[in-house]
Structure 1
Amino acid sequence: MTERPVTQFGPDFPFAHDDWIRHPSGLGAIPTDSHGASVAVIGAGLSGLVAAYELMKLGLRPILFESGQLGGRLRSQPFEGADDVVAELGGMRFPVSGTGFYHYADLLGLETKPFPNPLTEAAGSTVIDLEGETFYAKSLGDLPSVFQEVAKAYDEALESGANYSALKQAIRTRDKARIKEIWNPIVQAWDERTFYDFVTSSPAFQRLSFRHREVFGQVGFGTGGWDSDFPNSMLEILRVNVTECDDRQRFFVGGVERLPQGLWRRAPDRMVHWPKGTSLQSLNGGALRPGASAIRRLPDGKVAVRDRWGREDVFDAVIATCQSWLLTTAIDTEESLFSQKLWMALDRTRYMQSSKTFVMVDRPFWKDVDPRTGRDAMSMTLTDRLTRGTYLFDNGPDRPGVICLTYSWMSDALKMLPLPVERRVELALSALEKIYPGLDIAGHVLGDPITVSWEDDPNFLGAFKGALPGHYRYNHRMYGHFMQENLPPSERGIFLAGDDISWTPAWAEGAVQTALNAVWGVMTHLGGRSHADNPGPGDAYPEWGPVALPD
């Protein structure tokens, strides 16, 4: 019998969102007198579009507000003049454990391929360059023993510190009771402790040298180095590990932005109230509304949303999927819409910086064999130099390739922040020249480079949430806000969604799951309910919701 795969099922709230959206009965139903009711969806990123798509299928009219670009951080920028050759400025690697996310990718028939992460077959070869020493490898076994010792130590640390195998097996088999039995005590033990604390206090790493911990921070295993996450809450890292977010990742041929664009234009096969052929695009008059500038409650309990050009419309409910800081800095949000404890959580959210710089090249020249060494001319590269991670994308032997010259986080990303794109490329090429002396990367470059610094984008102010120790309670307040039965009327009818509301920030599955939570919230707010044979997240939440820590 084939073993079930690990999916992003919990661990904080073990509810099968993927099963819920695939069930033949559908998500639920709303009373017919609510058909056509308007719901404002603030933000046309993945979470906003998933929520809007499912609300439309229920017979509601979602109106999408967007201050930037459709797709949000699923942003695929094409290189000029090249068909389907893109730079993935936001999300670019998607673990197969994100089964809710892949439900929508499969619905649209999008093609994916294995992502060229270090030491994977898709990468071909990997070069690790630390402190001026360069190591070439096809697999972990090709590297010096220190790297293997680090990998083994982290495996042991997870096992001894988090009952890792048992928790992973419970997630694999979707054993909700066993997941909670293991996970809830971990939350209580590790909420206020950092990732670095977990590593350094583990017996496995205590037996090793500082050099081993340094290597782990610089290189890590899976997608690369972990040092930018060292100050983060260990709970955040454990969720990534145990749900295999950092494993078996894929990228989208032609760009992941095809997914949000596809949801915007797709007419569902089954839909209530609206005529066949209706899409989000058609319901919105063919275009997105401008960004929201104000949200306020009206005396009749409905909510008014004003856009940046002053048009104000009234809605029966609102879903806010924008970056949480924007509710205080960019959108004049009436304070009474949220409790002060929730405002505290929204304002205390901490975002991580991230920078990428891409070039298009004439062909995948890195596959050329260096006659001096018999090795690939260039490899997927991890280094302590300012490039940190360099990724190679092969679009075929007769098509231009793409190199992500540098993918960096936090302080390494801030080094790039004030620099123009040309200078970023120069610095990256200079660093790579030291690793690959004599290799003329610049001689293969076509067109103009593409770069991004997410902290410089006024619609995001950072790449994604990175919870600090002690932030569990804040995350719990935000994630559970879709459960509104016990809220005062002044706080009902506005819902939060997005990956920064989820327990797994930076991963598309978190955006999808919180969008579906919000859909359930809107449905019940308007008098609807889930079908008896397909209960929704709010039906399961009282029994299986996240453990509450005392204030």
Structure 2
Amino acid sequence: MSDGAHARPLTAFGPDFPFPYDEWLNHPAGLGAVPEGRRGEEVAVIGAGIAGIVAAYELMRLGLRPVIYEASRLGGRLRSEPFGYDTDTIAELGGMRFPRSSAAFFHYVDMLGLQTAPFPNPLTEAAGSTVIELGGESWYARSIEDLPPLFREIAEAWDGALESVLHLGELQDAMRRRDPQAVKRIWDHLVPRWDDHSFYEFIASSPEFSRLSFRHREVFGQVGFGTGGWDSDFPNSMLEILRVAACEFDDDQHLIRGGVEQLPRGLWEREVDDAVHWPSGTSLASLHGGAPYGGVDRVSRAADGKLAVVDSASTTRHYRTVLATCQSWLLTTQVQVEEELFSQDLWMALDRTRYMQSSKTFVKVDRPFWRDVDQATGRETMSMTLTNRLTRGTYFFEDGPDDPAVICLSYSWMSDALKMLPHTSRRRADLALEALEKIYPDVDVRSHIIGDPVTVSWESDPYFLGAFKGALPGHYRYNERMYRHFMQAGLPEAEKGIFLAGDDVSFTPAWAEGAVQTALNAVWGIVDHLGGASDPKNPGPGDRYAELGPIELSP
């Protein structure tokens, strides 16, 4: 590493588009300006998840009037679900762990003064202790040094493969230094090399893993290290995984105390005193009379050239610009979008986006009893648990030794999540408890449970149809089409004015940072479409796209 490489922390500075979103957000010149005659103009925003709310908040500050449509619930997949009437105890059904490298996301967390804490991932101080159970055999650990050599060999092989094959250290050095040309030089070489290869193929063929046994790859997939097993991601493009490693999304993760849903709701309610056009005290909530409009049924080009949006109450409104932040499949299943609004190439990309399934089951308990220490062994009663059983990952959350606490009995993905799909919340909890009773035969978890379990399967929700995107090998071209759509100067007139944002449009699906960054791209695009511009002292993502934009692969 070069001298000073660690002078600033690593953030999600690319790697596909190394633009400094945090610096753009914090610059005193602001995000740009729209012509005076456009001030107060309405902009439709479809979806009130974090992408929609961030975009709406910044558009409001620029003097536009965002009109938010939401078919389900404000916050999207940042969903903090209370246990019945106890609103102080919550289950994080969507995003629940947020890496500090998510600089644009934490810009808003810090702005709202939300409190964070380290997430209790396996083998971290926040978890306290970890139990790994495979094939009926259990290991208790507080650090990786407490585990058999097999696990250290896996960790060393993974780190070694990333470095020897992908030159991760050099890439991260360039990201830390905020050297966009160096980032692009390295990343643009990796994209065509690894887009066509799966994660599992990378693992199986790397020299570091190939000299180890199949058992090493199997355990890496089942329980992994760091935040857990990787086998759900084995079919994905290696680029998808490399981005996670490059941005350190799997490291230094935090939770939001009181629930992450406070973030979108906080931006919804936040009164601003620095907005163009709007008086001090204006908020998104006040512009909407306290609630967003309902869902959108149809978007089409009207006779006046504007975009006609028909909501669930059959009310039609016309807009020069529309921002769709819902998951892309909804543009073909829930919202009737006129085909001419997108190119056939873009429709292909939107439709071929592949979503991963995810299931979680939570219970509220009377206290964090897992911290009780067995006097005979000196071990905690229960630990953060990784297993190849149905539960896969079990996490424990607490506020104090005598306060009610929460157990995420099971967090699973893909085929394991689908095993839960047909079952009621009670049956899901029973299945998870039966699995945990085999690992902890002397612990009566059931005696501590209060009330009913809380659960989610995002793939069964008609407004989501899956938890997050998981790009397959060969999907880079699709992703690049969706990502650059905010650059509309070269589009046919019939396709201008409708924008896309959300983590599935980003190159980092499943991470809130991707949703925030694409929302900011859309803000730039909307301002540009309406005749506005960035301040020359603070160029936006579109101003630097020709220089820094993602590499385009040949058709």
TM-score interval for Structure 1 and Structure 2 normalised by the shorter chain: over 0.9
Partner Cα separation in structure 2 for residue 259 and residue 477 of structure 1: 29
Aligned counterpart for 1:154 among listed residues 150, 155, 158: 158
Structure 1 counterpart of 2:147, from 139, 143, 159:
143
Q: In 2, Cα distance between the equivalents of 1:41 and 1:278?
A: 18
Partners in 1 of 2:437 and 2:553 — Cα distance?
A: 51
- 2:459 aligns with 455
Question: How many angstroms apart in 2 are the aligned matches of 1:185 and 1:201?
Answer: 19
The alpha carbon displacement at 1:372 in A equals 3.1
Deviation at 1:267, TM superposition (A): 1.2
Counterparts of residues 267-286 of structure 1 (less than 5 Å): 267-286=271-290
Please give the per-residue CA displacement for 1:278-317, whole angstroms capped at 9, x wherever unaligned. 1001111221100000001123321110001201101120
Name which of 72, 77, 89 aligns with 1:73.
77
Matched, 1:511 2:515: yes
Q: Distance in 2 between the 1:259 and 1:86 partners?
A: 15
How big is the shift at 1:83?
4.0
Distance 1:20 1:34 in 2: 23
**1:40 is aligned with what amino acid?**
A
Aligned residue among 383, 387, 392 for 1:383: 387
Partner of 1:543: 547
* 1:254 alignment partner, one of 245, 253, 258: 258
Instruction: Confirm or deny that 1:24 pairs with 2:28.
Output: yes
* Residues 11-61 of structure 1: per-residue CA shift (max 9 Å, x gap): 000001111111111000010000011100000000000000000001000
The question of 1:320 aligning with 2:324 is answered yes
How far the C-alpha of 1:395 sits from its partner, in A, is 1.3
Are 2:211 and 1:200 equivalent residues in the alignment?
no
Q: Does 1:63 align with 2:45?
A: no
The aligned residue for residue 354 of structure 1 is 358
Matched AA of 2:395: Y
Which residue of 2 is the match for residue 441 of structure 1?
445
Cα deviation for residue 447 of structure 1 reads: 1.3
For 2:14, what is the secondary structure of its paired residue? coil
Equivalent positions of 1:39-438 (< 5 A) are 39-438=43-442
**Which residue of 1 is the match for residue 482 of structure 2?**
478
Q: Is the 8 A contact 2:273 2:279 kept in 1?
A: no
- The yes-or-no answer on 1:525 pairing with 2:529 is yes
Distance in 2, Cα, partners of 1:286 & 1:314: 22
The match for 1:38 is 42
Q: Is this contact kept in 1: 2:362–2:410, CA < 8 A?
A: yes
AA aligned to 2:68 is L
Q: Deviations over 1:112-138 (max 9, x none)?
A: 000000000000000000111100000
Measured in 2, the distance between the counterparts of 1:536 and 1:150 equals 42
Letter in 2 for 1:256: V
Contact 1:357 1:406 in 2 (8 A): yes
Q: Which amino acid aligns with 1:398?
A: D
Please identify, of 341-350 and 392-401, the stretch whose mean Cα deviation from structure 2 is larger: 392-401
Instruction: For residue 539 of structure 1, give the secondary structure of its aligned residue in structure 2.
Output: coil
Distance 1:458 1:395 in 2: 34
Report if aligned partners of 1:9, 1:174 keep a CA contact under 8 Å in 2.
Answer: yes
Per the TM alignment, residue 243 of structure 1 is displaced from its structure 2 partner at its CA by 0.3
Please give the secondary structure, in 1, of the residue aligned with 2:86.
Answer: coil
Find the residue that maps to 1:408 and give its secondary structure: strand
Indicate the SS of the match to 1:495. strand
State the SS of the aligned residue for 1:299.
coil
| Distance in 2 between residues matched to 1:269 and 1:179, nearest whole Å | 38
Alignment coverage as a number of residue pairs: 551
Stretches of structure 1 that go unaligned for 5 or more consecutive residues are: none
2:493 and 2:69 mapped to 1: Cα distance?
Answer: 24
Deviations 1:424-477 (A, max 9, x none): 111111100111111000010011110000000000000000000000000000
- Whether the aligned pair in 1 keeps the contact of 2:273 and 2:282 (CA below 8 Å) is no
State how far apart, in whole Å, the 2-side matches of 1:269 and 1:165 are.
43
- Native 8 Å contact 1:11 1:239 kept in 2: yes
Indicate the larger mover: 337-346 or 175-184.
Answer: 175-184
Alpha-carbon deviations, 1:154-199, whole Å to 9, x = none?
0011011111100011111111111111111110100010000110
C-alpha contact (below 8 Å) 1:218/1:227 kept by paired residues: yes
Could you tell me how far 1:336 is from its partner in structure 2? 0.4
Amino acid at match of 1:273: H
Runs of 5+ consecutive residues of structure 2 not aligned to the other structure:
none
In 1, the alpha carbon distance for the partners of 2:52 and 2:16 equals 23
1:235-287 Cα deviation digits (max 9, x unpaired): 00000011011100000111000000001000123100011111001111221
Q: Alignment partner of 1:10: what SS?
A: coil
Deviation readout 1:310-366 (Å, 9 max, x if unpaired): 011011200000010111111110000000000000000000000000000000100
Any idea what the Cα deviations from partners look like across 1:483-502, whole Å, max 9, x if unmatched?
A: 00000110001000000000
Q: Counterparts of 2:268 and 2:461 in 1: how far apart (Å)?
A: 23
Q: Structure 1 CA distance, aligned partners of 2:550 and 2:406?
A: 42
Q: Tell me which of 488, 492, 496 is aligned to 1:488.
A: 492
CA distance in 2, matches of 1:115, 1:26: 33
Alignment-mate amino acid for residue 223 of structure 1 = T
Separation in 2 of the partners of 1:469 and 1:353? Answer: 18
CA distance, structure 1, for counterparts of residue 224 and residue 273 of structure 2: 44
SS of equivalent residue, structure 1 residue 392: strand
**1:67 partner SS:** coil
Q: What amino acid does structure 2 have at the position aligned with 1:321?
A: T
Secondary structure of 1:85's counterpart equals strand
**Matched residues in 2 for 1:372 and 1:429: separation?**
25
Structure 2 letter corresponding to 1:291: G
Describe the SS at the equivalent of 1:128. strand
Counterpart of 1:280 in structure 2: which amino acid?
L
Q: Helix, strand or coil for the counterpart of 2:174?
A: helix
What is the root-mean-square deviation in Å for CA atoms of aligned residues?
Answer: 0.8
SS in 2 for 1:28: coil
- Structure 1 residue identity aligned to 2:408: C
Q: Distance in 2 between the 1:3 and 1:430 partners? A: 49
* SS at 1:391 equivalent: strand
SS in 2 for 1:309: coil
| Equivalent residue letter for 2:440 | Y
Report if the CA contact (8 A) 1:84-1:255 is conserved: no
- Give the Å deviation of 1:3: 2.4
Identity across aligned pairs (percent)? 66
Report the AA paired with residue 457 of structure 1. D
Determine the C-alpha separation between the residues in 2 that align with 1:493 and 1:81: 43
